Amino acid sequence: MDIFLIVGLGNPEKKFEKTRHNLGSRIVERFAEENNFPAFRLSKKLLSQISKGEICGKQVILAKPETHMNESGKAVKKLLSGLGLSEKNLYLVHDDIDLPLGRLKVIKNRGTAGHKGVESVVKELKTKNFVRFRIGIQPKEGKPKNLNNFVLDNFNANEEKIIKEVIKKTIKVLKIALNQGIERAMAVANARLPTKTKIEM
């Protein structure tokens, strides 16, 4: 049975839970809830909170790094080596300031665009040849001048409505990737289909 590792990037402390930079972690948590995965448990050895389950005939390991965002690569490297997995079976889920709020894009083997968490993963793995689920957080007025403050702030009420929809869509597209392959997932995500469009499972 194929084994896939889905890692949601974020910062581990409770105070960062609802921040923009924790969107990847939130999506992985929601994925676990919707698909009846067991509660996350801390693995000190793997520097992550872990939950394991089976979906679409695949064994899936969900992980939330216990490292800070800019050291995410240390946890991802430990996860892959400790679980005996290749980066080819890694799905990295993260916020992206270069995409408009609520936009989902699935890519593989592409540059980091300055995302500190992704940069750390690429640095530690010495490759960018893995799949990334990028979720846009850029406001309508464009990139804020103080990015650090912006990404560590919570979404406002209007943004939260959009985020809840994109979380649903990202979970659907993750399941498509597991069930039908990454090419199909890319086609669905990158075609900018409205969130209410029926997606084949």
> Catalytic site residues?
21
- DSSP assignment, residue 38? P
Residues 110, 116, 119: CA angle, nearest 5 degrees: 40
Contacts of 71 by beta carbon, 8 Å cutoff, 6+ apart: 120
How many C-beta neighbours within 10 Å does residue 186 have? Answer: 18
Distances (CA, A) of 154 to 40, 74, 137: 23, 26, 11
Helices 116-125 and 72-83: crossing angle, nearest 10°? Answer: 40
**Which structure tokens are listed for 94?**
């993260």
For the CA atoms of 124, 90, 19, 32, the dihedral, rounded to the nearest 10 degrees, stands at: -140
